[in-house]
Amino acid sequence: MKGAEAGTRITLKNILYLTDFSEPSEAALPFAISIAREYRCKIYALHVLIPAMYAYTPLELTADAITAQDECAERDMLRVDAQLEGLPHETSVERGVAVWPTLERALTQSDIDLIVLGTHGRTGASKFLLGSIAEEIFRCSSVPVLTIGPSVRKGTHKGARFRRILFATDFTPESLAAAPYAISFAQENEAELLLLHVVPKSDLEKPDDGNTASATNTISKLGQLVPKDAQWCRPRTVVDYGNPADCTLSVAKEHSTDLIVLGVRDAAKHLGAATHLERTTAHKVVVHAQCPVLTVRG
């Protein structure tokens, strides 16, 4: 999926399923399996062991704790391996000082096209895929990340077929980076594509100085995102007003969306910034969406 352009079909050859063996991770596995079957690609299942748990472990007990952790992780990975039977796959348990550096190496070594992970969206938890670490992944990753949040209902993957896809944008370069993926997924799945722009309340309170686009102009601008040769995806445009996260979630629910696609800023430039698709917006959408969310770093 690297370097996808509007109007081109996506190619998935290698999926990385990242797991900490928690319930959110288990909820994400069916999506990885279904997509792998649909696109006939290989799954790399990865678990990263990090040393945080040893901070308060007496030195003489550290070796035993490490051995026990290794054995537990290998045992859990065997269960994942069993669920992947019949699919091209590899499983691995690796140690690292942090999740992202280890994951970043895996992306390059295995030529990964898509990351699939689950999260419950909270911060401060001990499990590495929970909360802020999951967000670090989708803001640092050079490949798209499919996040399965806690509000996604079981069975919504529908055999990895997405019949209605919602792409939300504020027309910044970061958000527009996700447009080719939304269009490509729509083409691959013969899905209906919804194009959404949310006008924040703060903009509504400003006097119209000529820079605020009218709804008509905004609809036209949204329509121009889809190439003329990609009209098969039956694009529909939606302009809403209010909080970007709330509106995105509301429109997704109203239209029974199967997939939300968002462009996000990278971690280096983003974590202290405030934009339409700001940290709280992307985080809130992932946590509360009733369907998977595909994030693409702009």
Which residue range forms the structural domain that includes residue 132? Answer: 14-148
Q: pLDDT tens-digit profile of 97-121?
A: 888 999 999 999 999 999 999 987 6
3-state DSSP assignment of residue 291: coil
pLDDT of 231 reads: 58
Of 127, 148, 169, the position where a domain reaches its end is 148
Count how many domains the chain has. 2
Quick one: CA dihedral 185, 189, 190, 192, positive or negative?
negative
Mean pLDDT of all residues in 199-209:
62
pLDDT of 202 reads: 65
CA distance 164 to 194: 7
The pLDDT confidence band at residue 275, using thresholds 50, 70 and 90, is very low
Q: pLDDT tens-digit profile of 7-23?
A: 556 788 999 999 999 88
From first CA to last CA, the distance across the chain in angstroms is 14
pLDDT of 55 reads: 54
Q: Answer yes or no: is 154 within a domain.
A: no
Q: Answer yes or no: is 134 within a domain.
A: yes
DSSP secondary structure of 120-135: ---SS-SSTTSTHHHH
pLDDT of 121 reads: 63
Of 148, 170, 190, the position where a domain reaches its end is 148
Residues 116 and 137 in one domain: yes
Lowest mean pLDDT, pick from 19-23, 71-75, 187-191, 217-221:
187-191
Greater confidence, 164 or 229? 164
Count how many Cα atoms sit within 13 Å of the Cα of residue 260 in the half-sphere of its side chain: 34
Stated as kind and residue range, the H or E segment containing 220 is helix 215-223
pLDDT of 273 reads: 41
Q: Answer yes or no: is 274 within a domain.
A: yes
Residues 179 and 77 in one domain: no
pLDDT of 152 reads: 86
Q: Answer yes or no: is 8 within a domain.
A: no
User: Strands across the sheet with 236-241, in order?
Assistant: 89-95, 42-49, 14-18, 114-118, 145-148, 293-297, 259-264, 164-168, 192-199, 236-241
| CATH code (residue 138) | 3.40.50.620
The burial class, CB within 10 Å (0-12 / 13-18 / 19+), for 82 is exposed
Mean pLDDT of all residues in 275-290:
74
Lowest mean pLDDT, pick from 32-41, 47-56, 260-269:
47-56
In the predicted model, what is the mean pLDDT of the chain?
81
pLDDT of 210 reads: 46
Lowest mean pLDDT, pick from 59-73, 94-108, 126-140:
126-140
CA distance 135 to 139: 6
